[in-house]
Structure 1
Amino acid sequence: MGTPSQETDGSGKCNKIIGFTFALLAAFSWALGGLVFKYVKDAGADEGQLARSILQFIVILPLLTYRKEKIFQDDLKTNFLVLVRAAAAIIGNWFYYSSIKFIPLGDAVSVMSSYITLVGLFACICLKESCSVIKALLSILTFVGLVLVARPSFLFGNLTSESASNTMFGILLALSAALCFVLAIIIARFLGTRIHYSIAMLHYSWVGAVYSLASATSKGTLKIPCMDDLLLVSLVAVIGIFGQLFSIIAIQKEKAGQVAVVLSSEIVFALVLQFIFLDYFPTLTSLIGSLLILGSSVTLTLKKTCNNTSKESVKDNDSSSVKEG
C-alpha cells in the first residue's frame, strides 16, 4: 500500500504499470504452459502434476526456511481447510491438463476460466455474499458461452459420434477443473490472511506429489517419460511456477480485482498461440462462446472493483470529516 505522497510523486502509477505487466506475463505463462503440454505425447496429467509439485517444493522450501513459517497451524480447522484447498487446486490442474488432450487449447482455457464468474455464484451460497441481478445475468451469459464452446450434438448435430464424445468429455474435464478452482478460491476467501501464501504453496507441493504418485500407481501408468516428454513436462512445470510468481507480484503491486481482469486475457493468449503454433482457428460458435465467458468474467470483476473503490472513497470521506470535525 502506497502512501499519498508516494502516489503523487508517480510511484503509484509505476506500481500500476508493474502490476499490469506482471499480470499479463502470468496470463501468457499459463497459456504457454497449456500449449507446451499439447506437444507432450506419452506423459499424462499425473506426470505433469508430479513435475510441477517437485519443482515447486524445491523453489518454495528456501523461502519458508528464510521466513521461519510454521508449516502446520495451531488451529485444526485451518490446517484441514488448507489441505482441502491444496487438494482442490491439484485435482483442478489435473482436470485441466487432461482436458487439453481432448479439446483445443482455446476451448479448454475458456471453459476453465468460467470459474471467475462461478465464484460469484458459489460465494453467494457458501459465504452468504450478496447476489445481484447483474451477477445472475453474467452467470447466464457464462452458461450460454459454455454451451457454444461445447457444441453438444443434440443442439448442433454436426459432429461425428467419436468427435462429439471426445469434445463432451474434454468439456466436462475443463468444467470440473473450473469447479475445483471455485472451491479453492472460496476456501482462500474464508481463510483470508491467516496463512502466508508460501505455506499454501508448500502444501500444494507435497499433496500434489502424493496424489500424482498414487493416481499413476493405481492406474498402472507410473513410469519415467521419454527424454522429449520429460523435458516438455519439466518446462510446463517451470512455466507454471513462473506464472504463479508473476501473479503474486502483480497482486502486490495492484489491486486484486484489476489484476483478475488482466489475468482473463489468458483466453486471448490461448486462442492466439493455438492459431500460430497449432494452426487451429476456433469455429465461430467456439469464438463467440469464449468471448462471452471472457466478457462475463471481465464485467463481473470490474463491477466488484468499482464497488470496492466506492466503499473505500466513502470511508476516506468519513475519516476526513472526523479529522476536520
Structure 2
Amino acid sequence: MLLVTTLNILDLDKKMISNERFIKPEKDTNTLLHSLVTDSQSNSDIELQETTFEFNQLGLEKDTDNNNNNNDKKYQQAKVQEEFEIDIPIVKTSILEIIKSRLGFILIVTSAFFYSIYSLMVGVVIRSGMHFLEAILLRSAIGLIGGIIFLLLIGENPLGDKSKRLILVFRGLSSTSSAVCVFYTISVLPLGDAIAMSCSTLLFTGVLGSTILKEKWTTINSICTILSIVGVIIISKPSFIFGNNVNDESISQAKRILFTLIGVLGAFFQSVSNVFSRKIGKDTNPFVLVVYYQSIVVVSILPVCLFLNILRAPSLNQWLYLLGMGVLGFIFQGMGNRAFQIENVAKVSPLNYTQIIFTYIMQILFFKESPDIFSIFGSICIILCAVITAIKN
C-alpha cells in the first residue's frame, strides 16, 4: 500500500515536471521588477507619466508630418481636448476675413479693371471729335453731381471732416494737375510714349511713401517697381528708346523733351495724390476725395474751356458715353482712393498697372487690334510684378 502511494506521488511529480515546460510564466523578471517599481509610485506620478507620453506622441506625430492640412490640425486639437479635457480653441478663417485682410489689393485691381472700360469710352469720345478738356470737364461734372447725391443718400457729408478739408483740397489740386499733364501728353505725344511717362508714378509713390509716411521700403518693393517700369516701357515702345522705326516721329527733339518733362510732372502729381490719400486716413469716405477732385476740375477747367472756346454741344451718343465715364470714373477713383488709404502705397502701386493688361484685353475684344510681341512681353513683366506683390503680402 505504501509502495502504491509512493509510486502515485512520483508519477504525479513526473507529470508536473514534464508539463512545466509548456506553462509560460505570466511575467518575467524584468516585468516583475518593473511592476514592483510601478506599484511603489503614487497615482499622480502615473498620471503625469501617461500625460507626458501622450503629449510626446503628439509631438512626434507633428514633427514627422509638417504638411498636415487644416483638418489634421483640427483632429489633433480635438484629440488632445478629448483625452485630457483641455479647452483648445479651433481658429476658423472665413472667406470674408480673407477678403478683408486683402481688401486693399482687391480694390486696386478692381479699380484697374473699371479704368480699362473707362479708357475705352474716353477713346471713343475723343475719336468722335470732342476736345479732351471738354471731355474731362463734362465727365467730372456728371461725376460731381452723382457723387454729392450718393454721399447725401448714405448720410455722409460731401465736405468731409472739417479738420481734413485743407489736405482734401491739396489732394484735389494735385489730382487735377496730374490729369491735365497726362491728358496733355496724350494729345501731343504718341500714346505709348505718354504711358511710359506716367509709369514713373511708381517710383515717385514709393519714394514719397517711404520719406513722408515713413513706410518701409523693402527689396521686394524695389524689384516690383523696376519690373513694372520695364514692363510699361516695353509695352509703350517709346521712340526715344526703340527708335523711329517703331513710332512715327512728327515733332522736334526739343518739343519731345518738353512734353516728356510735362508727362513726368504729371506722374509726380499723381504720386503726391496717392500719398495724400494715405495721409488722410481710413476714417474718411473715399468718395469724399473724388468729390473734392471733381469739384476742383470743374472750377479750374471750366474757365479755360470758355476762354479757349472749345465747348460744343455733345451728341446723344457722346452724352451716353460721358454718362458712362462719369459713373465709372466715380467708381474706380473711389476704389483706388480706398486702396491707398488702407494699404502701403508702395505695395499697391504696382498692382495699379494691371489696368494695362485689362486695356489690351478690351482692345482685342472691341477694337479688334492685337498686341505685338513687345506688348505681350511687357504684359508678362507686369503680371509677374502683380503675382510677386500678391504672394509677398
Same fold per superposition (TM over 0.5): yes
CA deviation digits over 1:136-178, x for unaligned, max 9?
Answer: 4444444434543243346534143228989989876665543
Q: Does 1:43 align with 2:134?
A: no
CA deviation digits over 1:292-315, x for unaligned, max 9?
Answer: 345446545654x3xxxxxxxxxx
Q: Is the 8 A contact 1:264 1:294 kept in 2?
A: no
**Alignment of structure 1 residues 135-146 onto 2, 5 Å:** 135-146=221-232
Match of 1:71, SS state, is coil
Q: 1:27 aligns with which of 87, 98, 112?
A: 112
User: Match of 1:12?
Assistant: 97
Q: Is the 8 A contact 1:145 1:290 kept in 2?
A: yes
In structure 2, C-alpha distance between the alignment counterparts of 1:273 and 1:98, rounded to whole Å = 23
User: Match of 1:53?
Assistant: 140
Q: Is the 8 A contact 2:199 2:232 kept in 1?
A: no
TM-score (norm 2): 0.59
In structure 2, C-alpha distance between the alignment counterparts of 1:100 and 1:188, rounded to whole Å = 25
**CA shift in 2, pair 1:68/1:279, >3 Å:** closer
Overall identity of the aligned pairs, in %: 20
Indicate the structure whose relative CO is greater, using CA pairs within 8 Å and at least 6 residues apart.
1
User: Match of 1:156?
Assistant: 243
**Alignment of structure 1 residues 296-307 onto 2, 5 Å:** 296=385, 299-300=388-389, 303=392, 305=393
**Alignment of structure 1 residues 163-202 onto 2, 5 Å:** 175-193=264-282, 195-202=284-291
Q: Is the 8 A contact 2:215 2:344 kept in 1?
A: no
| Residue 85 of structure 1: how far off its partner (Å) | 0.6
Q: Is the 8 A contact 2:116 2:356 kept in 1?
A: yes
Q: 1:229 aligns with which of 318, 331, 343?
A: 318
- Amino acid paired to 1:275: I
| Residue 89 of structure 1: how far off its partner (Å) | 1.9
CA deviation digits over 1:12-60, x for unaligned, max 9?
Answer: 3576899988765533221011012111222123222222322222222
Identify the range of structure 1 (198-207 vs 88-97) with the bigger mean alpha-carbon deviation: 88-97
In structure 2, C-alpha distance between the alignment counterparts of 1:49 and 1:294, rounded to whole Å = 30
User: Match of 1:67?
Assistant: 155
Q: 1:125 aligns with which of 200, 204, 211?
A: 211
Q: 2:167 aligns with which of 73, 76, 81?
A: 81
**CA shift in 2, pair 1:81/1:16, >3 Å:** closer
Match of 1:67, SS state, is coil
Q: Is the 8 A contact 2:227 2:381 kept in 1?
A: yes
**Alignment of structure 1 residues 240-279 onto 2, 5 Å:** 240-244=329-333, 263-279=352-368
Stretches of structure 1 lacking an aligned partner (at least 5 in a row): 306-325
**CA shift in 2, pair 1:164/1:29, >3 Å:** farther
Match of 1:162, SS state, is coil
Q: Is the 8 A contact 2:195 2:232 kept in 1?
A: no
CA deviation digits over 1:60-98, x for unaligned, max 9?
Answer: 2234435353726544xx433211211222333344445
Identify the range of structure 1 (82-91 vs 197-206) with the bigger mean alpha-carbon deviation: 197-206
Q: Does 1:219 align with 2:304?
A: no
Q: Is the 8 A contact 1:105 1:271 kept in 2?
A: no
Q: Is the 8 A contact 1:106 1:271 kept in 2?
A: no
Match of 2:250, SS state, is helix
CA deviation digits over 1:215-237, x for unaligned, max 9?
Answer: 31233323333443333223222
Q: Is the 8 A contact 1:95 1:174 kept in 2?
A: yes
Task: Indicate the RMSD between aligned Cα atoms, in angstroms.
Answer: 4.3
Q: Is the 8 A contact 2:277 2:340 kept in 1?
A: no
Match of 2:363, SS state, is helix
- Amino acid paired to 2:332: G
In structure 2, C-alpha distance between the alignment counterparts of 1:175 and 1:293, rounded to whole Å = 20
Stretches of structure 2 lacking an aligned partner (at least 5 in a row): 1-88
CA deviation digits over 1:108-143, x for unaligned, max 9?
Answer: 667646534541122223334343444444444444
| Residue 182 of structure 1: how far off its partner (Å) | 0.8
Identify the range of structure 1 (168-177 vs 60-69) with the bigger mean alpha-carbon deviation: 168-177
**CA shift in 2, pair 1:36/1:14, >3 Å:** same
In structure 2, C-alpha distance between the alignment counterparts of 1:290 and 1:170, rounded to whole Å = 25
| Residue 209 of structure 1: how far off its partner (Å) | 1.0
Q: Is the 8 A contact 2:178 2:270 kept in 1?
A: yes
Q: Does 1:91 align with 2:180?
A: no
**CA shift in 2, pair 1:7/1:51, >3 Å:** farther
Aligned residue pairs, count? 298
